[in-house]
Amino acid sequence: MSITKIAKDLGVHPSTVSRALSGKPGVSEDLRNKIIQYAEKIGYYPDARASSLRKKGKTGTLGIIIPDIGNPFFATVIKAIEDVLYSHNYNFFLCVSDEDPEKEIFHLKSLISHRVDGIIAAPTLDNKTKNFYSKLYSSKKTIVFFDRFFPTLDIPSIVTNNEQGIKKLINHIYKMGHKTLGIISLSPESITGKIRLETALNYAKKLKITVQPEWIQGFDSTEESGYLSMKKILKQKRRPSVVLILNDLTSLGALRAISELKANVPEEISLVAFDDTYWNQIFNPPITCVKQDPKEMGILAAKNLINILNKKNVLKKQILLDTKLIIRQSVKKLI
Amino acid sequence: MSITKIAKDLGVHPSTVSRALSGKPGVSEDLRNKIIQYAEKIGYYPDARASSLRKKGKTGTLGIIIPDIGNPFFATVIKAIEDVLYSHNYNFFLCVSDEDPEKEIFHLKSLISHRVDGIIAAPTLDNKTKNFYSKLYSSKKTIVFFDRFFPTLDIPSIVTNNEQGIKKLINHIYKMGHKTLGIISLSPESITGKIRLETALNYAKKLKITVQPEWIQGFDSTEESGYLSMKKILKQKRRPSVVLILNDLTSLGALRAISELKANVPEEISLVAFDDTYWNQIFNPPITCVKQDPKEMGILAAKNLINILNKKNVLKKQILLDTKLIIRQSVKKLI
DNA sequence: CTGAAAGCGCTAACAC
DNA sequence: GTGTTAGCGCTTTCAG
């Protein structure tokens, strides 16, 4: 199944076959058709490796790195990226980092070995990964970050305005009269979680909303952590009037805990969440939240990468996406 | 950044560099170390294309084809596959078919061009795709199907026992005393949907459960379809006592319709669903359902493929996975 | 232990 | 129009 074999079988030269199959001029229509038909008949598909190797050009492949496909947020981003890439004829390797710097670097090396044209990544924020991305970038590899980025690296990125989102939520509960706040946080390694938590604490302080240390729970960005954290908060004798949950999977767990303990929302406890996923609308009552736009994030990341590859101008290096407050019925009006 | 460049810089022969870097014997330790250090210093990563081209061996890459990453079921399968592949050092191209035969065939061709070692696919069931897979398989490509398969093709597959799952659900509602049943079905192209629907209809008939034609709704496998279908059923003056929903995304939509219309489950209407995803547990009341095992499906698909690639024996060609009935509180007891 | 030469499958530049 | 030649980056003989 190679151009050489076809050439031999048809008694012509390999270069003629190459020209015929790749639509280049310089072959008579008769011969071209004969070659194309024969190639189809024997089920020939050109070897992309050999072709890209010889052309010294692009491979038409990209690498995408995400921490977790199980998270609907990332699944949605990937879906949007896929859409753009397909319409531009790119294939991509999907790499899962599990937030593990070693695993991420392993994948990066392998992507480089496969000579991908570019990399779209939600990077694990760690010194090792930072150094590696930095090296790659200075050796002219095309990289676009989404969801997270390294503040000290000048690599294009598409990130949600997390501070804005948190402030919108806290403003809302403030207006509803809440003065005590609990928080279900994320993995301590998550920069996203760190930013959201810090913004929440600072802004709550500014508005004189009390956050007792024992009201801050969460050890991880998983459903399990959300579940256990919410249970811990609910079992305290002095509870906050409202709990802020910092992402989608943890809020799923928190909601499960609430269902299980049959806590009444918003009468006994109010709830607000970062991220608007599937379940926020069908919970009883529907959850007030701040919505990121993972679809837009994916589209922008992919388009930016492609623009850079095509040497087109990229308008902004760092894109900050707005969040949207969606008011539902999970916050009790106290005033 | 090539072996030749390293060889030139160090004044040795490319073949020596190759031996040194790939851990082959026949290089003095001193020279080997010198070469390895130099390679690291200049950030050299071997060209996987050139290497696999020359070795005439495997590329270490696979292709995965799914209809939709937005669907949590497939996201979970992918996650499991990724886990197995990573531990066996395989990279993979992720391809999304959108249930479009043309798109799927386009992706298949591109996977072949990239000379993937094997393909794991939840195929779109269509004559065109069937013929294409059939051709690929007879030309010795390694393929494993999951979630769906072509009954007339002898290609290994890992599929859920859909009939069993539906029967478990219908048995349950029968025991609870229900005599009238509505169904929210899937896309007419979905073989999974077809099997589930037919089994439900036949088995209901057998148990003398009535299914009026206007109680069968659904035009698609999406959230939207589930939402609109449930609304249609709820608005009828003569309604079934229980509604069976045939997958996860449609049940999400159905639950949204129920929340919106404030229908009381299970007092006004009972619910059972195929698939146990995130939201079944946090809905009020929690949804009785039958659970597939997407994780197991992914693990088996990946392991089977790897076994075949390693010429190990595959125990069973067609694996049928059991379903599990999870009884919660969405079905009213009528007797 | 190291070097030389050949070739994986393909394409681009150059002949005729 | 078609053939010839060279070489992308790598590995694998075979020499020395």
- For A60-81, the pLDDT digits (tens) are 999 999 999 999 999 999 999 9
Q: Are A285 and A170 found together in one domain?
A: yes
B196: domain CATH number is 3.40.50.2300
Q: Are B76 and B126 found together in one domain?
A: yes
| Predicted pLDDT of residue A313 | 75
pLDDT confidence of A219, banded at 50, 70, 90?
A: very high
Which residues of chain A lie closer than 8 angstroms to B279, CB-CB?
A: 278-279, 282
User: What range does the domain containing A60 cover?
Assistant: 56-160+294-321
Please determine, for residue A277, whether its predicted confidence score (pLDDT) is greater than 90. no
- Cα dihedral sign for B64, B66, B68, B74? negative
Q: In this structure, what are the phi and psi dihedrals at residue A283, rounded to the nearest 5 degrees?
A: -70, 155
Q: Are A206 and A248 found together in one domain?
A: yes
Q: Between the CA of A54 and the C1' of D1, what is the distance in angstroms?
A: 24
Q: Which residues does residue B9 pair with via DSSP β-bridges, in sequence order?
A: none
Q: Are A287 and A236 found together in one domain?
A: yes
Residues counted in chain B:
335
Yes or no, beta carbons of B69 and A82 under 8 Å apart: yes
Are A227 and A199 contacting, i.e. CB atoms less than 8 angstroms apart?
A: no
| Predicted pLDDT of residue A185 | 97
Residue A326 covered by a domain: no
Residue B332 covered by a domain: no
> What's the domain count of chain A?
3
A9: domain CATH number is 1.10.260.40
pLDDT 10s digits, B288-298 = 999 999 999 99
Yes or no, beta carbons of A70 and B69 under 8 Å apart: no
Yes or no, beta carbons of A70 and B79 under 8 Å apart: yes
Q: Are A168 and A225 found together in one domain?
A: yes
Sheet arrangement for strand B181-184: B216-217, B181-184, B242-245, B270-274, B288-291, B324-326
Residue B216 covered by a domain: yes
Q: Are A121 and A73 found together in one domain?
A: yes
Q: What value does the mean pLDDT of chain A take?
A: 95
Nearest to A62 by CA among A85, A29, A36, A32: A85
Give the closest-approach CA distance of B120 to chain A in angstroms: 14
pLDDT 10s digits, B7-62 = 999 999 999 999 999 988 889 999 999 999 999 999 999 999 999 999 987 999 99
Q: What percent of chain A has pLDDT over 70?
A: 100
| Predicted pLDDT of residue B87 | 97
Residue B326 covered by a domain: no
Q: Are B241 and B316 found together in one domain?
A: no
Residue A151 covered by a domain: yes
Residue B327 covered by a domain: no
Q: Which nucleotide is nearest to A29 (CA to C1')?
A: D1
> Which residues, given as ranges, of chain B have pLDDT below 70?
none
Interface of A with B in 141-200 (CB under 8 A): none
Residue B192 covered by a domain: yes
Q: Are A145 and A96 found together in one domain?
A: yes
Protein residues bordering strand C (Cβ below 7 A): A 2-4, 14-15, 17-18, 21-22, 24, 46-47, 50-51, 53-55; B 11-16, 19, 26-28, 31-32, 50, 53-54, 56
Instruction: Encode burial over A111-135: b for 16+ CB neighbours within 10 A, e otherwise.
Output: bbbbbbbbbbbbbbbbeebbebbee
Q: Are A242 and A260 found together in one domain?
A: yes
Q: Are A74 and A152 found together in one domain?
A: yes
Q: Are A74 and A32 found together in one domain?
A: no
pLDDT 10s digits, A175-200 = 999 999 999 999 988 889 999 999 99
Please determine, for residue A315, whether its predicted confidence score (pLDDT) is greater than 80. no
Between CA A143 and CA B203 the distance in angstroms is: 55
Residue B283 covered by a domain: yes
| Predicted pLDDT of residue A3 | 94
Nearest to B110 by CA among A304, A59, A116: A59
Q: Are B174 and B151 found together in one domain?
A: no
